[in-house]
Structure 1
Amino acid sequence: MVPTANIIALARNTEKAQSLVPAGVTVRPGDYDDPEQLKASLAGVDRLLFISSQPGGKISRLQQHKNVVDAAKSNNVSYIAYTSFPKADQSTTPLAADHAATEAYIKKSGISYSFLRDNWYLENEAGSLAQATSGKPFVYSAGDGKAGWALEKEYAEAAAKVLASESTKPIYEFGGQTRTYNELADAIDAQFDVVKVDDSAYAKGLEASGIDEGTAALVTSFQTLIRDGQLDVTSSDLEDVLGHELIPIADAIQEVVKG
């Protein structure tokens, strides 16, 4: 186990982060929009767990990512573990574009790397799972498309293990057993209807629930990419790195619903 005194955490809100990290962890400012701040905060860092940012900011996500990589290179960081997208270099979904470009930029930097290609967080389905457990319909438009759902904490633990490992692979396709939404619904311990719709009806249902049109379109696009097979990636990497089986899907669903 790595001593907490050897760990540095970067965060935009350092005060909030300090209240969350274990005692002994150093917290430094880490705004992806600020190249100079990143250069200062990565001083003395040898191995970096680089969490991808969210799109839609005042600076493009790709530029944010380049800022991180440039700061790492200027500080002679020896290794980057970057949280990417399933089969990022082959995927055709727009959601993967920034990840593919970031992977290429990291390769170009000459820094040793591992790409942690996280599949899909079960927490992304929290709303639908909660509705189903309360007896409301479980609605989806992804058809027979499959995703490798697993809990965020399982992906996080695996990322930490890779970062601390002395022997790593360039690419890890992290994810749980691939399932359709219908199979996911089968694991929910409740009585409810499973309703399969098209994307248009799915988006309209989201808007009817109070979600704005833009957000509804984004969430619906996730259904589309699953239907198109973008997350249908079979791999044992997540369990191999963790060293144990994932939490059974029915138990994981309960964790998500209970929040």
Structure 2
Amino acid sequence: MALSNNVIGAINFIAMLLSIPIIGAGIWLATEPDNSCVKILQWPVIVLGILVLVVALAGFVGGFWRVPWLLIIYLVAMIILIILLACLVVFIYMVTLKGSGHLVPSRAYLEYSLEDYSGWLQRRVRSSFKWDRIRSCLSSSSMCAELNQSYRMAQDFFDAHITPLQSGCCKPPTECGYTFVNPTYWISPINTAADMDCLQWSNEQTQLCYSCDSCKAGLLANLKKEWRRADLILLIALVGLVWVYLIGCFAFRNAKTEDLFRKYKQGDSYN
């Protein structure tokens, strides 16, 4: 019984360690400028990681200090958290399945279209109420100003591999035919009817293309890349937690069997 309880305690210490990458993934998302503006995924991930830590701690205490009711709470709560984590992993994969950048002639950077992304992600940015807050947050960052410091000549900028957010928000879409002055200042052509985003562009440094669909698409492209990385971390943690849980169940069953066998032998000795 003692050996089995020690095994349960030890593997729940591993479960506690597995909560660290989950919490870390949430904190990393929270520190990314785009995710800090959107505020969708980071808090569910952080909260789930903290819950895994608390439940694993309960299993650790229950195993080493032989508290059966804590072990039962651990077994029930952990399977619920594993299911929730699995659902989150699948959800992130599904909503980031669609969407990618498009090559345009004579440009190293990609252009992005809002319609390419999943309907769920699109709804996060299509609402004017939601986007006004996100746009205000994005425009307060230095991501566009950094382009002006890095690229002086048009060809250098056209050959640059800028981020999806910078491509969508800091410059007009290439199809609009604007003439480059610097990365955030462009001369308007006579005809700007190619796309609504062409009319949305402004050389005002606080406006730029933050109201454009291309900016929304660039944001979603950034989110997709970062969420996919976080999803890989969550998947690895999920596999580890499932492995730990199965070993814990096996050890708990052995502990109960040993306990019953010990009581049975004690009963025989009295007879």
TM-score class, shorter:
under 0.3
Ranked by relative contact order (alpha carbons within 8 Å, sequence separation 6 or more), the top structure is 2
The structure in which a higher percent of residues are strand is 1
TM-score, normalising length: structure 2: 0.23
Kindly name which structure, 1 or 2, has the bigger radius of gyration based on alpha carbons: 2
TM-score, normalising length: structure 1: 0.24
